[in-house]
Structure 1
Amino acid sequence: MSGRAPLFQGTLAIVIPVLNEAPRLPATLAALAAEAAAEIVVVDGGSDDDSVAVARGAGARVIFAARGRGAQLAAGVAATAAPWLLLLHADTVLAPGWGAVVARFIADPEAGARAGYFRFALAESASWARRLARVVAWRARVLGLPYGDQGLVISRALLERSGGIAALPLMEDVDLVRRLGRRRLVPLAADAVTSAARYGRGWRRRSFRNLVCLGLYYLGVKPARLAGLYYGGG
């Protein structure tokens, strides 16, 4: 950001839950630092790799919380005071230009009553990745279900009015956007590029498992039970 005023100083806190993400975390943090001077809080859930050292080496503040993205996100939010928050996965790299997009969103007088999410993209050029991105775009737009790998920009006030982040081991993102409601969710004109590594065993299989977990969640199955299916399925 040479030659430009730093974005978000004191305005935005970026909260990233981490568990053994050392290989992917550097790219995520580098993309953030390249665009903005925001507070970055990495919330470690008990990593046994170099995630903590990587985060600290990149200048992020590291705190520790009970394992589980919901609990980690909630702890990260509680540890900050910024009026705006960006909730982001550790393996999601925001594309160049994201900072200006978020700045415009925050500057909108109506933004305090809305939450913004990024376009989903995979770091993979195959046709299946493009098809999956189109499905995700439809799901977010029509069903009002952007997932955590699309990031979420939200004011602290709106998050608190909506009940905060539930300390769930799974579906914390779905739980939050359902409480916000589709009309409060706004697509942002920047990509959130997620590692395709977790789709290595087959994108159809993983997508089907995600859909099964979502369906069971809507049927009332507790996230603690779903976590075994989701994380145990590879």
Structure 2
Amino acid sequence: MTDDLRHPRFARAYPRVDASRAKVGGAANRDELLAGASGRVLELGAGHGPNFAHYPASVTEVVAIEPEPTLRALAVSAAASAPVPVKVRAGVAERLDLDDASFDVAVVSLVLCSVRDPVRALAELRRVLRPGGELRYYEHVRATTRRKAAFQRYADVIWPYVAAGCHVSRPTGELIASSGFTVRRERRFDFPPSRLPNPAKPHLIGLAVRD
């Protein structure tokens, strides 16, 4: 496993998609995700850096891990204008080159859908968080109704190949709750707002603490 996972077409297209979604609620979702965060933060799968502008002044440092080179270069540019210090590094979720219990907060934002092994990634996040540290998550997840979940399973036959390994049917909320974290709050909602069928609509924003 290398620290680079290359998806150049996706990496060029995704910032434009994210910018359009920011205007219809995505930016507010990121504000909700990061409100009240403080201390030293690890952001896993930082992408092109869309969270950076939303970190509050109570954050002393963000270490941002991004394995895709095109997105990582964009994140470096975004870090230069962030309101808090941000260091962007290469790395993969399942093998973090970081010390145990060295962060106060870990942030995952639309990333656990695409990591190769989400259980191992969550174990790594738990390892690098101090006891009682926060895991803040904003993820699209498996639907709660049988019909929508079946639609997602069918979509996952093709979706990962066109969306850089993203899986729309992962039960990410359940994985977090069973990986050594206690969920303190969680909000489930559909996003983006649209009547068109979209297997990636069901989302969660939540906060869990390391047991």
Q: Same fold (TM over 0.5)?
A: no
Q: Which has the higher helix share?
A: 1
Give the structure-1-normalised TM-score.
Answer: 0.35
Q: Which has the higher strand share?
A: 2
